[in-house]
Amino acid sequence: MRYRILGPLSIMDGERQVTAGRDRAVLATLLLRPNRIVALRELAEAVWGPQPPATARNQLQNCVSRLRRVLPADAILTDPAGYGIQAGPDDLDSVVFRRLVAAARAFSDEAAARTAYRRALGLWRGEACAGIDAPAVRQAAATLDEEHTLAVEDWMDLELADGHAEELVAELASLVERFPLRERLRGRLMLALHGAGRQDDALAEFHRAAGTLRDELGMEPGEELRAAHREVLSGAPSGAHRPIRCLPRTVVDFTGRHEVVTRLRTVVRAGDPAVVAVDGMAGSGKTTLALHLALLAGDRYPDAHLFVDLHGHSEQAPAEPSAALHMLLRQLGLPADAIPADPAGRAARWRAEAARRRLLVVLDNAASIAQIAGLLPGTPGSLTVVTSRRRLPGLAGAHRESLPLLATGEAVALLARIAGDRVHAEPAAAIEVVRRCGGLPLAVRLAGSRLAHRPRWRVADLLARLTTAALPELAVENRTVIGAFALSYQDLTEPAQRLFRLLGAHPGTTVDALAAAALTGLSLSEATTLLAELADARLVDEPEPGVHRLHELLREYAAALPGPTGAAVLGVLNLETHVLMATMTESYRTFVERDLEAMPLLRPDLVRAVGDPVARLERIRGDLVRYLDAAVRSGQCQYAWWIPRAAWYALYYRGWNDDVATLNDRGLAAAREHGDEEAVAQMSNLVASSHYRAGSYGLALHHLRLGIEIRQRQRNLRALSVLTGNLAALHIAMERFSEAVEAGLECLRLRSLARMRVGPPVTLQMSIAYQRLGRWREALRMDRLGLLGALRPGDEHLRAGSLVGIQRSRRALGEITPQVAERYLGVALRLALRQGLTLFEAETRMEIGNVLTEQDRYGEALDQHRRALDVARRAGEVNYEADFRHDYATTLLRSGDVAAARAEYERSLAVARKRGQPYAVARATAGLAGCS
């Protein structure tokens, strides 16, 4: 158990907190005196003041009982005189603080002392025991507050001596306002102002201090304050004998980035390059990394450590190079009147001053290469670290580092460093919090700060607030993620701002130039240029060439920006649906176009520009459901069923079954909600195909019958023929072969009435049904008819299926040898592989295995069987699993491996029984009998 009293009282267990006021007062009193017994009288005064009630003892016992239920069993010490609390050396933050301060004061190494002080002071979150107003608690806590102030003064002495005057001014001014009578603080503020070149302000501070002391205490400034006054009057720079150190204070909880830091330290140790350029999106921790690197590598550059904020992305205008040179020269100690007024002279003076020193220069928040070109030291031996939200590719010889987002483990570690151990008590919630922050360091820091300042919150409470809308919650005082993003957005050109706004409405997780052109209505080249501008501004990243991605928090920010988006969403939905159409064979596309005849083609130029539609589908298929949902949200409901219809062919025949099922179910729900009977009929057929592929034959039959009922009512012969053909396939899977023949004949009749060509896939289904019935001549006739109907380009898979059926029937009839059958199957396999159609590949390989078995070529046959099973497994094909395993078992048996054959027959039998396939059950049972 960890306890924190250096700020609001909290215990570091995310599931348990002490919330009752009296219990908190008792716990605070015990923690202020850890590992010792506190008298009952003192505890009573802490809760009720100097006049506790008569029942105080009983009420204190109740408080302690409640604390025991929250704290570990052995935490509370009990004694007749009172109570105490056990706390190990690392369990209580006040104990850790005192240990670190003692170590800092003992160090002879000033750098080590400064580090120890930073760690100690980093434990403080406000006044000790803040929020507990009991006088006894406040009196004891005041001692800790005094120790804190003394530690701050000692630490600031070291920082001032090390040249960190300018960055200490604000913190010292705040402390002086809080403790106006502390002369030592006043003196340190004067020296800090003096060291920052603000002599007049330092003298004014002395006069304010003297006035306050006379008014409040009736006394004059002491010797320490007068000594500081004399030093300011002398004009000698404070700490002039020491190296110049002007880097701002960095965070004490730097976490993660191990690979990046290691890489940067390696290149710095090698002495090359002279410039390190760090770029990254807003809030990615560029400045923090730069200062951390400076801290680690500072000893290599002993003369001066300089820092300039160039305001490349801030509410102020970017710093002019001449103004930045002035700041650098002033940091080197040059008086203002010694710095040339003209830019050329100023640059020459900077080069001269830099040439005789080993410098470490941090140029933070650069806007462009032009801004920093004249600020880089021109001689070897110095290091410049540049940070920018923009990539700076023109920096010759620079080592470039583009900061990625934090990995989940790093982000959780950072959250825990800021918010404490309760983060580790709720690991699942912590992971989800950093996921909502998108691994963005600024977002994680702000989330951690919110948690740290609310000791009663669990991590799950923070998560609940981030779930609805994260950006409003990621704000602490004047630091917000929204503010960081807004500065990057404001720097864009107006066309790029418009594209960024529209990306907030883009359904996909990635965007390329084609999608950007569809969103904006611009040409492909214009969209490419704007995406490059967004990438340079680090508002999108580029995980692969030409493909960009928007961080989820940036997406939320973009979506909240005002502006119309309806036409943009329609444009991208139309583009992607037409790209899906392009994945089909020509003959099937002609068939589907009748279903989607109402869909316009808005951007034919973009569809023509798609190089490989199947490759594009592979990239966006995980986003198809998002496109469908966007169609419903934007009022373009017809795309909610057009998208599944257009995607079905490529997804189904490539075995992407989960994608097919999800799309089809969502599409059918949208069609029903919209009340579109035509769409319901189409989607019922597609949903049936998903259930068929999954082996859920009852559900498949239900949806097919729904579709048939609608089509019969519409008298749509063409669509009805499709449904009855699919019904034939379903009957085959259910091993109702006679019903399959009847459905197939009905399909052929309807196709004839509708003047449609006769051919596959119905001929393939009828061939299989005839084969199972032993009617080989009829099966052969159907496959030959199917082959004649599958001669158009794009019908390769149908030709493959027909060739497999022809050789199977002719083998059964004794008309061809296994060697001739092999040639049929070789052609069929090449056709299946050409189009990447897994089902036909699996079926063909299994048949090749059977033909090889007939020739006693068992090694080759077993290899084909195993490959067929593997392809079918990866494709999620379950309808033929029992048959495939039976054929594999038969080859194993003939090769002499009886035990393996028996195991495969048993698997075939189990699958057949599960699927309700009596024919396959009979075959597997017969195979097992042959193993006896």
pLDDT at 272: 65
Mean pLDDT for the stretch of residues 408-433: 87
Q: How many residues does the chain have?
A: 932
Given a cut of 60, is residue 249 above it in pLDDT?
yes
| Fold observed for domain 837-930 | 1.25.40
Q: Quick count: other Cβ atoms within 10 Å of Cβ 884? A: 25
Strand partners, 535: none
Mean pLDDT for the stretch of residues 737-754: 94
pLDDT at 538: 84
pLDDT tens for 806-852 read 999 999 999 999 999 999 999 999 988 887 778 888 999 999 999 99
b/e map of 839-866 (b: 16 or more CB within 10 Å)?
Answer: bbbbbbbbbbbbbbbbeebbeebbebbe
Q: Which helix (H) or strand (E) covers residue 372, if one does?
A: helix 369-372
Q: Reduced to 3 states, what is the DSSP secondary structure of residue 194?
A: helix
- Name residue 555's amino acid: R
pLDDT tens for 387-402 read 998 888 777 778 888 8
| CATH class name, domain 1-162 | mainly alpha
pLDDT tens for 608-637 read 999 899 999 999 999 999 999 999 999 999
Under the banding of pLDDT at 50, 70 and 90, the label for residue 16 is low
Residue with tokens 């066309």: 495
Q: Reduced to 3 states, what is the DSSP secondary structure of residue 696?
A: coil
b/e map of 132-169 (b: 16 or more CB within 10 Å)?
Answer: bebebbbebbeebbebbbebbbbbbebbbbbbbbbbbb
Least confident interval from 38-47, 495-504, 892-901: 38-47
Helix 762-772 to helix 737-753 angle, to the nearest 10 degrees? 150
Sign of the four-CA dihedral 12, 13, 18, 23: negative
Asked if residue 451 lies in contact with residue 462, where contact means CB atoms within 8 angstroms, the answer is yes
Given a cut of 70, is residue 692 above it in pLDDT?
yes
Q: What is the mean pLDDT of the chain?
A: 86
User: Phi and psi (nearest 5°) for 39?
Assistant: -65, 150
Q: Quick count: other Cβ atoms within 10 Å of Cβ 270? A: 9
How far apart are the C-alpha atoms of 632 and 65, rounded to whole Å? 57
Asked if residue 635 lies in contact with residue 566, where contact means CB atoms within 8 angstroms, the answer is yes
Q: Look up residue 402 and give its DSSP letter.
A: E
Given a cut of 80, is residue 15 above it in pLDDT?
no
pLDDT at 239: 46
Which tokens belong to 730?
A: 């379903």
Whole-Å CA distances, 310 to 150, 354, 361, 474: 35, 19, 12, 25
pLDDT at 503: 95
Which tokens belong to 833?
A: 């592989």
Asked if residue 405 lies in contact with residue 284, where contact means CB atoms within 8 angstroms, the answer is yes
Given a cut of 60, is residue 237 above it in pLDDT?
no
Given a cut of 60, is residue 664 above it in pLDDT?
yes
Q: Would you kindly state where each structural domain of the chain is located, as residue ranges?
A: 1-162, 258-402, 418-483, 837-930
pLDDT tens for 847-894 read 999 999 999 999 999 999 999 999 888 877 778 889 999 999 999 999
CATH label, 258-402, candidates 1.10.150.120, 3.40.50.300, 3.40.50.1820, 2.60.40.10: 3.40.50.300
Kindly give the residue spans of alpha helices, DSSP state H, lying in 218-315: 223-234, 258-269, 286-297
Mean pLDDT for the stretch of residues 908-920: 90
| The CA-based dihedral angle spanning residues 21, 22, 27, 33, taken in that order and rounded to the nearest 10 degrees | 120
Whole-Å CA distances, 333 to 172, 196, 341, 349: 22, 9, 17, 13
How far apart are the C-alpha atoms of 731 and 348, rounded to whole Å? 89
Residue with tokens 């989800």: 432
Residue 273: is the preceding peptide bond cis (ω within 30°)? yes
Nearest-CA neighbor of 644 among 631, 89, 893, 197?
631
Diameter of the chain by CA atoms?
Answer: 123
pLDDT at 294: 87
Mean pLDDT for the stretch of residues 761-780: 93
Under the banding of pLDDT at 50, 70 and 90, the label for residue 380 is confident
Mean pLDDT for the stretch of residues 352-358: 84
| The CA-based dihedral angle spanning residues 667, 668, 672, 674, taken in that order and rounded to the nearest 10 degrees | 10
Whole-Å CA distances, 121 to 168, 254, 270, 293: 14, 15, 35, 22
Under the banding of pLDDT at 50, 70 and 90, the label for residue 135 is confident
**Which pTM was predicted?**
0.62
pLDDT at 719: 92
Q: Look up residue 758 and give its DSSP letter.
A: P
